[in-house]
């Protein structure tokens, strides 16, 4: 079977490694001419770690990430709302890790080069379309730098792993647009002394009035105990236009929202001011579609179900897609049946996560408390809502996303 994997992001590399694990070869085509360690932080939840452990990279990831001890919620006045243990500390067999996205990508990319062979991973290939007939599919590429057309690639199946701006998905859904609800984000990394436990994942405030997600991704970065701390600022403003992925972020565009966020445990203005890098992104997703598979072509990862970056779930869902599709390709006599079986297993649960990330994400805890307090400081959180009710919000999200403690099965 000839399999063309279009895109060497987390989902595409996960698919290539999952196929190799089952003795199936593939060809991977990536648009960028050179893979570099880009981006900021990412959190690997236990269901993401389950998939990555099955691919044999858990030790490498733990060596360069930070294992989360707890998830902690605060309002915008720095008042404690709720906390819970995470990963192994919550009884899971696997850790929850904060890690630099570039390091995760590099580990997967290097493993793909090693296991598949460098000749099976092709960079500088920008997909411009795909066509198919009864006997196969043909992918068309342009050289990313020169724009010149490359020789077409013939395969039995084509897997679109080319992300939120997928050229292949656009071919099947040409009129589709990003769903933007006025939420913009800025992401940064700052060298900082450990905050709280030094292994805490913090959500502070809510999107209506300003929210920060903060967690460490590299420990003792300078030999003097400082960590590299990842943070994401969010705000929803109806009149806002979408941030631009393609330009660096500017603190002046959002720092005023957090100007008085100085708490006994953290000075947020200083965290922003001392950032080594700031990137801007819009908070966007796409409405779930009724079909991912079209004959010999299917979508996985962000090409299939772009979702709000809430709950640290995009990478996990892409890795689950990858393993599920690899399993079906091994089982089916006709690869088209495999692609349809994969869609039947994954479309509905992934679409549910997309919609839950819009409406009841983990930071709904903060939104609910803001609503109950009228956006003002409170005397005692238990006078507003019980810890049991807050825990139920958290547990419901884990169930929808597929990583509740009682449902997370090994693979």
Is residue 221 predicted with pLDDT exceeding 80?
yes
pLDDT attached to residue 339: 98
pLDDT attached to residue 56: 97
pLDDT attached to residue 247: 86
Whole-angstrom distance, CA of residue 233 vs CA of residue 302 = 22
The residue ranges of every structural domain in the chain are 3-67+101-177+289-359
Mean pLDDT of 195-203: 98
pLDDT digit string, tens, across residues 268-320 = 999 999 999 999 999 999 999 999 999 999 999 999 999 998 877 889 999 99
Whole-angstrom distance, CA of residue 173 vs CA of residue 288 = 11
Token pair for residue 263?
């708490």
pLDDT attached to residue 362: 84
| CA angle centred on 158, ends 152 and 159, rounded to 5° | 130
CATH of region 3-67+101-177+289-359, choose from 3.50.50.60, 3.30.420.40, 3.40.50.1000, 3.30.450.90? 3.50.50.60
Mean pLDDT of 106-124: 97
Mean pLDDT of 91-109: 96
pLDDT category at 171 given cuts 50, 70, 90 is very high
**In the chain, what percentage of residues exceed pLDDT 90?**
90
Three-state SS string across the chain, please?
CCEEEECCCHHHHHHHHHHHHCCCCCEEECCCCCCCCCCCEEEECHHHHHHHHHCCCHHHHHHHCEECCEEEEECCCCCEEEEEECHHHHCCCCCCEEEEHHHHHHHHHHHHHHHHCHHHEECCEEEEEEEECCCCEEEEEEECCCCCECCCEEECEEEECCCCCCHHHHHHCCCCCCEEEEEEEEEEEEEECCCCCCCEEEEEEECCCEEEEEEEEECCCCCCCCEEEEEEEEEECCCCCCCCCCCECCHHHCHHHHCCCEECCEEHHHHHHCCCEEEEEEEEECCCCCCCCECCEEECHHHCCCCCCCCCCHHHHHHHHHHHHHHHHHHCCCHHHHHHHHHHHHHHHHHHHHHHHHHCCCCHHHHHHHHHHCCCCCCCHHHHCCHHHHHHHHHHHHHHHCCCCCCCCCC
pLDDT attached to residue 292: 98
């Amino acid at each position: 079977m000839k399999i063309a994997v279009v895109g060497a992001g987390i989902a595409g590399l996960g698919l290539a490694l999952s196929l190799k694990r089952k003795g199936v070869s593939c060809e991977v085509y990536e648009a960028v001419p050179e893979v570099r360690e880009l981006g900021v932080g990412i959190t690997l939840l236990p269901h993401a770690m389950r998939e990555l452990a099955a691919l044999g990279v858990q030790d490498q990831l733990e060596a360069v990430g930070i294992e989360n001890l707890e998830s902690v919620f605060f309002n915008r006045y720095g008042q404690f709302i709720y906390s819970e243990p995470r990963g192994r500390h919550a009884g899971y067999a696997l850790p929850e890790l904060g890690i630099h996205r570039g390091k995760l990508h590099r580990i997967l990319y290097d493993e793909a080069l090693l296991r598949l062979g460098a000749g099976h991973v092709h960079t500088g290939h920008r997909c411009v379309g795909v066509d198919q007939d009864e006997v196969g599919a043909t992918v068309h590429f342009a050289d990313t730098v020169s724009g010149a057309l490359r020789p077409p690639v013939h395969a039995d199946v084509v897997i679109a792993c080319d992300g939120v701006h997928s050229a292949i998905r656009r071919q099947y859904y040409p009129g589709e647009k990003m769903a933007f609800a006025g939420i913009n984000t800025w992401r940064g990394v700052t060298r900082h002394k450990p905050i709280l436990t030094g292994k805490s994942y913090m959500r502070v405030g809510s999107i209506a009035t300003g929210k920060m997600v903060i967690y460490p991704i590299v420990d003792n970065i300078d030999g003097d105990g400082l960590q590299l701390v990842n943070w994401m600022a969010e705000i929803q403003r109806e009149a806002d236009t979408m941030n631009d992925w393609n330009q660096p972020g500017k603190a002046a565009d959002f720092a005023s929202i957090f100007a008085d966020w100085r708490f006994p445990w953290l000075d947020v203005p200083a965290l922003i001011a001392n950032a080594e890098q700031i990137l801007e992104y819009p908070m966007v997703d796409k409405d779930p579609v009724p079909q991912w598979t079209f004959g010999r072509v299917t979508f996985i990862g962000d090409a299939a179900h772009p979702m709000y970056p809430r709950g640290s779930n995009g990478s996990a869902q892409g890795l689950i897609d990858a393993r599920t599709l690899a399993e079906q390709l091994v089982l089916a006599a006709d690869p088209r049946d495999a692609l349809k079986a994969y869609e039947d297993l994954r479309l509905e649960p992934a679409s549910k996560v997309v919609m839950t990330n819009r409406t009841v994400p983990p930071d709904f805890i903060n939104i609910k408390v803001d609503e109950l307090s009228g956006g003002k400081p409170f005397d005692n959180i238990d006078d507003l809502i019980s810890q049991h009710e807050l825990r139920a919000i958290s547990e419901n999200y884990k169930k929808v996303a597929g990583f509740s403690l009682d449902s997370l099965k090994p693979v």
